[in-house]
Amino acid sequence: MEKVEQQAQKVKGKWTERKRSDTRRRTARAPGTDGRAGRAEPAERELPVPRVIRATRYAVKPMSVDDAAVRMEQTTEAFIVFRNPESETVSIVYRRKDGNLGLIEPD
């Protein structure tokens, strides 16, 4: 029974330490504040910088804009990157919030 209680205390200690360390990392303080009295206003707090997460490789296949639009209707993907054979440029067809499709072409 003692051994089980010791294991439970050990696991609980690990959980509380993780929670404390995560809270410390997430807390953003404005320069010049010590975190006690005189806390920084919400507008002065530093916002976390978004991270870039590299996705898997994406094959850029040659297809027309119409073919890309048909493929978008068949899949649930948010966008399709393709090489336009007419202009030899890389283009993107994406699903817009209003349900239509958008086209991004370089200049």
Q: What is the enclosing helix (H) or strand (E) of 89?
A: strand 89-95
Q: Which domain, by its residues, includes 79? A: 54-107
Do both 94 and 61 map to the same domain? yes
Do both 59 and 98 map to the same domain? yes
What pLDDT, on a 0 to 100 scale, did the predictor assign at position 94? 92
* Residue ranges of the chain whose pLDDT lies below 50: 24
Domain final position from 31, 49, 67: 49
Residue from 103, 83, 85, 107 nearest 93 by CA: 103
Residue-wise pLDDT for 55-79, tens only, equals 777 778 899 999 999 998 898 888 8
pTM above 0.95, yes or no: no
Do both 25 and 58 map to the same domain? no
The DSSP symbol for 88 reads T
What pLDDT, on a 0 to 100 scale, did the predictor assign at position 26? 53
What pLDDT, on a 0 to 100 scale, did the predictor assign at position 103? 92
